[in-house]
Amino acid sequence: MTFVDDCRREWKRLRVPDAVANEMAAELTADLEEAALEGASPEDVLGYAVFDARAFAAQWAEERGVVGPEPAPRRRLVPLAFVIALGLFLVITVSGVALLVDGGHFASARVAVGTNFPAPRIRKLLVPPPSRPFARGERQRVFILPGARRVQLTALPPPPATAGLVFLGVGLGGIVVTLATWLVLGARRRVIV
């Protein structure tokens, strides 16, 4: 990769029009070749700029006023996606912790409605925590409704701890992976800029 090649790459990055970039490259190449034939070094032609092709090319293009328009600013979709993913994994983590700490409050209950038990119709429903959650160890609660109808809530056993562990693992893992990806992409973007 020669000095002129490095300049070309920088001009391409700066969206310098091809015709102008070709002209500058040809001018530079011809001067460097003539200097080499006379036994002069590239430094004799370029001064200290010879040590930093990128800065030299950028300065030349800028002084000539041929730097292309800045690329449109990156839309904020990527950061937004990371925030959403982090939020999602955080919810999963919290759910996992909640399941591990007190799964009973989130347990399902078997609901039976009828006048005589065993009830004729038994449905399994997922119920939200009632106004008063099942206490630890409480297995059954009976309500008497008008018309002598009875509602019997029977707490189902809390979900096994493995569910909580799985939620916790997925949530924490997701948070770590999301943050790492975010940091790596951000660092790469800073390097490119």
Partner 1 sequence: MPGILHRMATTERRSSQLLRGVLDLCLLAVVADEPAYGYEMTKRLRSRGLSIVGEGSIYPLLGRLERDGLVDTYRAASDGGPPRKYYRLSESGRRALASGVSEWASARDAIDAVLGLHATEVAA
Residues that bind partner 1 (CB under 8 A): 23-24, 26-28, 30-31, 33-35, 43-49, 56, 59-65
Nearer to partner 1, 17 or 120 (CB): 17
CB of 54 vs partner 1, minimal distance in Å: 13
CB of 8 vs partner 1, minimal distance in Å: 14
CB of 183 vs partner 1, minimal distance in Å: 36
Q: What are phi and psi of 2, to 5 degrees?
A: -90, 175
Nearer to partner 1, 18 or 43 (CB): 43
Closest CA to 101 of 158, 17, 34, 177: 158
- Rounded Cα distance between 13 and 2, Å, is 17
Nearer to partner 1, 29 or 108 (CB): 29
CB of 7 vs partner 1, minimal distance in Å: 10
Nearer to partner 1, 35 or 156 (CB): 35
Four-CA torsion 13, 15, 17, 23, nearest 10 degrees: -30
- Rounded Cα distance between 25 and 36, Å, is 16
E strands in 97-145: 109-114, 121-125, 140-145
